[in-house]
Structure 1
Amino acid sequence: MSTMNISLPEALKAFVDEQVLERGYGTSSEYVRELIRKEQDRQHLRGLLLAGAESAPTQPVDATFYEGLRARVRSRAQQ
């Protein structure tokens, strides 16, 4: 694992220390790693949403679509 040192104003350091204590993290590094993972997930989801928004329309998402989806799920569950 690599090491990264960061400098924080006292108010931000106090906030991080408070979060570590209140949320049960072992260290401030664990808290920061969790924040970074959440940001990675957020960016990944944003990319997926943008790709979906830019994609060509397919079939309408209506009751028929959901009925077909449910049928496919049930069929796979029975296999």
Structure 2
Amino acid sequence: MAAKAVSVTLGEMAERAERHLASGRFSSMSEVVRAGLRALDREEAALDALMRAKVQEALEDGRPSVPLAEAFARIRTATTAGE
């Protein structure tokens, strides 16, 4: 796929991006932005894995289900008891 030029306004983040570029770790602002996107991809993948694990944990929970109305009643009771 051919590279497509994209214009990005970084606003307050421009100074941080410039510091990363000045560090010598990156040879262009494009590399800085690509590194940021890779970090975002890793973060989203980690959150997705965490959510999948939590859902699986809930599905494997052996405790009996509670009807929704009862669950909200329990929450209301706990909330008013703590006031």
**Normalised by the size of structure 2, how large is the TM-score?**
0.58
How many positions carry a matched residue from both structures?
A: 57
Structure 1, unaligned runs of 5 or more:
59-79
Distance 1:41 1:21, change over 3 A: same
Task: Supply the AA of the counterpart residue of 2:9.
Answer: S
Give the equivalent residue in structure 1 for 2:4. 2
Runs of 4+ in 1 over 4 A off after TM superposition: none
Bigger Rg, which one: 2
CA-based RMSD of the aligned residues comes to 1.9
Distance 2:25 2:17 in 1: 12
- Residue in 2 aligned with 1:20? 21
Percentage of pairs with the same residue: 12
Could you say which residue in structure 2 is the equivalent of 1:73? Answer: none
